[in-house]
Homo-oligomer: A and B are copies of this chain.
């Protein structure tokens, strides 16, 4: 079976770059720098279901995205999470968190409503991430 991005993930995020295993997408919520890493593997809910090589690749790609968020936004802490209770297609959230952000110190899920980017801010943020992720 071929991989198809879950329609909820497609609607909530914008493509940044395709890495070896995973698509990197920016969540459409200007409150936080928030990036999804989604392995292009069909029928996988949890990371342990990937084969060992895919697991190692996902680990490298998650670290690459983590370093990009640290370099661009210098947050106090990253939140890296695979939850998927509502959308059970494996996707790893990477969220740059700092004191004073709208959910701090709680997790971001379920806190308030997403704030849309302007078209210009969205394009800028995607380009920033693309620049860092395509050289690292």
Interface residues of A (CB under 8 A from B): 45-48, 52, 55-56, 58-60, 62-63, 66-67, 70, 76-86, 88, 97, 104-107, 109-110
Q: A48-B62, A67-B48 are in contact. Are A84 and B88 (CB under 8 A)?
A: no
This chain's copy number in the assembly: 2
A106 contacts which of B60, B63, B67, B109 (Cβ < 8 Å)?
Answer: B109
User: Do B105 and A85 have beta carbons less than 8 Å apart?
Assistant: yes
Q: A47-B66, A59-B56 are in contact. Are A81 and B78 (CB under 8 A)?
A: no
Interface centre among A59, A76, A106, A110 (most CB of B within 10 A): A59
User: Do A77 and B85 have beta carbons less than 8 Å apart?
Assistant: yes
A46 contacts which of B46, B52, B80, B106 (Cβ < 8 Å)?
Answer: B80
A41 CB, min distance to chain B CBs, angstroms: 15
Q: A59-B56, A110-B106 are in contact. Are A46 and B77 (CB under 8 A)?
A: yes
A64 CB, min distance to chain B CBs, angstroms: 8
A78 CB, min distance to chain B CBs, angstroms: 5
Q: A84 to B76: give the CA distance in the assembly, Å.
A: 10
Q: A79 to B67: give the CA distance in the assembly, Å.
A: 23
Q: List 17 A-B contacts (CB under 8 A).
A: A45-B77, A46-B77, A46-B80, A47-B59, A47-B62, A48-B62, A48-B70, A76-B88, A77-B83, A77-B84, A79-B84, A81-B81, A81-B83, A85-B97, A86-B105, A106-B109, A107-B110
